[in-house]
Chains A and B, each alone.
Chain A
Amino acid sequence: MFPDGAYRGLLAVAGAVFVALVAWFVVSLIVQARPAFSTLGFSWIVQKVWDPGHGKYGLLPFILGTIETTAIALVFAVPIGLGTALALAYLVPHRLRAGLGTAVELLAAVPSVVYGLWGLIVLAPLFRDHVEPALTSVLGWTGLFSGPNEGVGLLLAGIILFVMVLPTMVAISRDVLAVVPVEQVEGAMALGATRWQVLRKVVVPGARTGLLGAFTLATGRALGETVAVALVIGNSPYVAHSVKSAAATLASLIVNNFGEATGTQLSVLFAAGLVLLVIGICVNALARVLVRNTARSGVTSVAVA
């Protein structure tokens, strides 16, 4: 076929094509977002008012909405994800582990629009009629639950995101927890540690970098998720005053306004996309570094004879 040089050249070209695509991707977003910055400056990014009809393009409500939905998702996903991963890695009987693990990985593959549909049709009425009234009566004093019960809103979007990022978080956390060497686990047991002490003092600290990577990846997924959130957040361009309020995120802003946007507004949407791109690069780069370092230092567990 080819001489070795040409073969290597072909492979290098393939790599270059990928890199060129990524470069094109980043550059085209920057270029298309530029008009927004050249006509509007920079202050609009942190302004509160979104009113394209009057030339107001404040992104603050959407930035806050993105952060708030992600925060709600993580409040649930971090403890529940860690607990689930610990159970899958150390507590569930051996013969069930592989099956449950595969199930979790498959659930990560369920398309996000399916979660959105479920959230909108099934959970939203449930939240409106039962969950939100109950939460308001119990936690109303915190001031977080003011306003009408609408079902859709920040809380539901956060919960849907929690369900969506959970499989990702559990699958990676379980892997990094499981590579903590069995010698460490036995070393702690042999000193008289209880099961929980072994997990809390040895296993979790031993896997902490990888766990952080898992949480970071989950955060990245929550920040950038689009359609599921767009379906259940209510899409209101105002800063939310309660977790029950309808709101919007950067991603939902883009899909909801893309159809009719032109000129500056379109450029603003590209700028919102650019913000997501930058967040995506930072979060994923961090997560990969964290997960990779764990894999590198993770001693292959050798079964003690």
Chain B
Amino acid sequence: MIDPIPAVPHLEEGAGPGTAEELPDPEPAGDPVMSLQGVTVAFAGRKAVRDVSFDVHVGEITALIGPSGSGKTTLLRALNRMHDTVRTASVTGTVLLDGTDIYAPTTDPTLLRSRVGMVFQRPNPFPTMSIYENAVAGLRFNGVRKKALLDEAAESALVAAVLWDSVRDRLNAHASTLSGGEQQRLCIARALAVEPEVLLMDEPTSALDPIATKRIEELVGELKHRVTIIIVTHNMQQAMRVSDRCAFLLMGEDKAGELIEFGSTAKLFSEPSDPRTLDYVNGRFG
């Protein structure tokens, strides 16, 4: 069937006033550390995220924003192959880490996950391990046995997670003795100790009180010099405060999340190029 003539004519817009004060949206130099190309995630044949492409650059914080159900977490979990455990899940498209496809048959998922760390919605320290054991758990999983290296990495990670000063005297205490915010920082330290290249954070403050949230946000800002961060958040203020670049996802007609817009945080929040982004950042839905 041939499309009928569009009922609404396409409106021509002249060069508006926006061009005069165009916001910076520079492409950073160099190759991206992670590159998503047409990533689609489906569960039992039903697409949850469709055809998402963007690049993640070294030393930046990229936020995935969007209303609930837009597939932010699903997309994030595709980036360290967490969907591998779900038999019905399939990920198509390409995710490049330093130019190598992480879904290539030659890529080992366990090795990949030591390079792409993850922090979860709720603090999940291992309850049977001490604070120290939690901090070095990832290193132990990855075969590190040298005490010197374990100690050095644990201290460095705990310092980076702003936890060292409060736990240095009780490293052998159980992780459950920490407060919720401290537990989440321990989980960040646990992920950092493996020295990943990319750190995925899935709404890391959703289970925390405002004060603990603020401290985690400050921490995230400082960590970007050490590790590239991709953070999922449903809190636009948080995305604005911490991120350099934003990917806005929205549920499409068949309930699959789609990438609506990707760009620098400043531009996305003040001058989005898509009206749906504007609606979202202005709080009109979601």
Contact = CB atoms under 8 A, between A and B. Distances in A.
* Complex A–B touching at CB under 8 A: yes
A138 interface: no
A184 B126 contact: yes
Contact of A192 (B85, B113, B127, B129): B113
A181 B112 CA distance: 23
Q: Which of A93, A184, A188, A189 has the most CB of B within 10 A?
A: A189
B113 A189 contact: yes
B191 interface: yes
Interface string A167-181: 000000000000001
B87 A191 contact: no
Contact of A188 (B127, B137, B202): B137
A196 to B, nearest CB: 11
A304 interface: yes
Interface stretch (B5-13, B115-123, B209-217): B115-123
Given A94-B87, A190-B82, A183 B124 contact: yes
Q: Which of A189, A192, A202, A305 has the most CB of B within 10 A?
A: A192
Contacts of B2: none
A55 B198 CA distance: 80
B23 to A, nearest CB: 33
A205 B120 CA distance: 21
B128 interface: yes
B57 interface: no
Per DSSP, chain A at the interface is helix
Q: Which of B112, B121, B137 has the most CB of A within 10 A?
A: B137
A257 interface: no
A187 interface: yes
A190 B80 contact: yes
Interface residues of B, number: 31
A194 B137 contact: no
Given A183-B124, A184-B124, A192-B114, A93 B138 contact: no
A241 interface: no
Contacts of A201: 126, 137, 140-141
Interface in A59-112: 93-94
A262 interface: no
A189 B190 CA distance: 12
B111 A192 contact: yes
B191 to A, nearest CB: 7
B142 interface: yes
Contacts of A193: 110, 138, 141
Interface string A290-305: 0000000000000011
Given A187-B120, A192-B113, A206 B73 contact: no
Nearest to B77: A304
A174 B124 CA distance: 22
A208 interface: yes
Contacts of B122: 183
Given A189-B82, A192-B111, A192-B194, A197 B124 contact: no
Nearest to B119: A190
Nearest to B141: A193
B187 interface: yes
Contacts of B190: 187, 191
A186 interface: yes
Contact of A205 (B125, B128, B142): B128
A197 B141 contact: yes
A12 B196 CA distance: 62
B203 to A, nearest CB: 9
Nearest to A95: B87
Nearest to A90: B85
A43 to B, nearest CB: 45
Contact of A186 (B82, B111, B127, B138): B82
A191 B190 CA distance: 8
A305 B114 contact: no
Contacts of A189: 82, 85, 113
A192 B138 contact: yes
A192 B128 CA distance: 19
Contacts of B114: 191-192
A187 B126 contact: yes
A93 to B, nearest CB: 7
A247 B29 CA distance: 82
B127 A206 contact: yes
Interface string A189-223: 11111100100011001101000000000000000
A304 B74 CA distance: 10
Nearest to B86: A94
Given A93-B87, A197-B141, A201-B141, A190 B126 contact: no
Report, nearest first, the 5 A-B pairs whose CB atoms are least far apart: A192-B114, A191-B138, A190-B118, A183-B124, A193-B141
Given A93-B87, A184-B127, A190-B113, 5 more contacts: A191-B138, A191-B142, A197-B141, A201-B126, A202-B126
19 contacts: A94-B87, A183-B124, A186-B120, A187-B125, A187-B126, A187-B187, A190-B120, A191-B142, A191-B194, A192-B110, A192-B111, A192-B114, A192-B142, A192-B194, A202-B126, A202-B128, A206-B126, A304-B120, A304-B202
